[in-house]
């Protein structure tokens, strides 16, 4: 899309075409919900904002790929762990608060005639507290241990890393149970939201909420896939392949 075309579009049209633009408008204090029927040029001149700045940010979105086809299986555990942290944990941290805000607003405004929006807000709240604790455990305990086991296996760490949890299977089992729980909460939201399809009367916040929830679910499932199916089995195997004498310090 060119800048001239962008200029003539209304804020509401742009959010409808690409929900990621909602975050840009929110950041600049532009109402994309009830007051979204104005063009970017008009809203910027009313609010004394430089339109070119917003246009540049919107155009930049078009060059951001949503998916990748990395060969995760070939990566070292240290590299894969860092990827999961930098891509998926960062994504979750950046979006939990934003989606909560949208979910609470939609439940408040539409909850009486669309009661499922209240249930969605409640389920989302459970996801937020579960995932926040879950990621902390991975970031502070499990992932540093996995990285150190790999460092030890390559000789860059002299001592087998010590832990309070015995073998790695025990925290991994806990992480997998927590993945199941969060995954099932997310699927309940998917069912309640009719596969993230908004009703005809939905306002822009409602539309952005469902689009963000769908995006979040896609990211979450990829995140869980990388941990459950690639990182965890490889970490278990690596730990098992070290001689008992080597890992006796861990117990
Ligand atoms: Fe994770
Ligand atoms: Fe996880």
Do 30 and 80 share a structural domain? no
Q: Which ligand is nearest to the CA of 181?
A: 2
Do 217 and 171 share a structural domain? yes
What is the 195 CA–ligand 2 centroid distance (Å)?
Answer: 24
Owning domain of residue 226? 72-250
Where does a domain end: 12, 42, 61?
A: 61
What is the 143 CA–ligand 1 centroid distance (Å)?
Answer: 9
Question: Mind listing the pLDDT tens digit of every residue in the chain (251 residues)?
Answer: 565 677 778 887 787 677 678 778 878 888 765 566 788 888 888 888 888 888 888 888 877 765 555 788 889 999 999 999 999 999 999 999 999 999 999 999 999 999 999 999 999 999 999 999 999 999 999 999 999 999 999 999 999 988 888 899 999 999 999 999 999 999 999 999 999 999 988 888 999 999 999 999 999 998 998 999 899 999 999 999 985 554 444 44
- 161 part of a folded domain: yes
Are 175 and 138 in contact by the 8 Å Cβ rule? The answer is yes
What is the 223 CA–ligand 1 centroid distance (Å)?
Answer: 6
What is the 203 CA–ligand 1 centroid distance (Å)?
Answer: 33
What is the 84 CA–ligand 2 centroid distance (Å)?
Answer: 9
What is the 138 CA–ligand 2 centroid distance (Å)?
Answer: 7
- 67 part of a folded domain: no
What is the 135 CA–ligand 1 centroid distance (Å)?
Answer: 5
Do 81 and 7 share a structural domain? no
Number of domains in the chain: 2
Q: Please name the residue that has the structure tokens 């939609």.
A: 106
Q: Please name the residue that has the structure tokens 């996801």.
A: 127
Q: Which ligand is nearest to the CA of 89?
A: 1
């Amino acid at each position: 899309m060119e800048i001239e075309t962008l200029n003539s579009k209304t804020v509401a049209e742009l959010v409808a075409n690409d929900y990621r633009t909602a975050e840009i408008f929110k950041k600049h204090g532009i109402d994309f919900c009830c007051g979204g029927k104005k063009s970017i040029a008009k809203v910027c001149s009313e609010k004394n904002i430089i339109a070119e700045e917003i246009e540049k940010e919107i155009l930049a979105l078009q060059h951001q790929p949503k998916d990748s086809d990395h060969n995760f299986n070939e990566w070292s555990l240290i590299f894969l762990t860092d990827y999961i942290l930098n891509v998926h944990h960062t994504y979750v941290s950046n979006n939990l608060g934003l989606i909560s805000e949208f979910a609470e607003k939609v439940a408040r405004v539409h909850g009486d005639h669309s009661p499922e929006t209240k249930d969605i807000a409640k389920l989302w709240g459970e996801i937020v507290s579960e995932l926040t604790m879950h990621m902390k455990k991975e970031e502070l305990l499990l992932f540093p241990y996995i990285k150190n086991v790999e460092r030890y296996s390559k000789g860059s760490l002299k001592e087998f890393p010590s832990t309070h949890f015995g073998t790695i299977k025990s925290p991994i089992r806990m992480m997998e149970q927590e993945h199941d729980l969060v995954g099932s909460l997310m699927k309940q939201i998917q069912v309640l939201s009719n596969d993230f399809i908004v009703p005809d009367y939905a306002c822009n916040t409602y539309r952005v909420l469902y689009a963000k929830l769908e995006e979040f679910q896609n990211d979450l499932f990829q995140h869980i896939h990388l941990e459950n199916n690639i990182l965890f089995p490889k970490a278990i195997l690596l730990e098992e392949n070290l001689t008992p004498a080597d890992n006796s310090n861990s117990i």
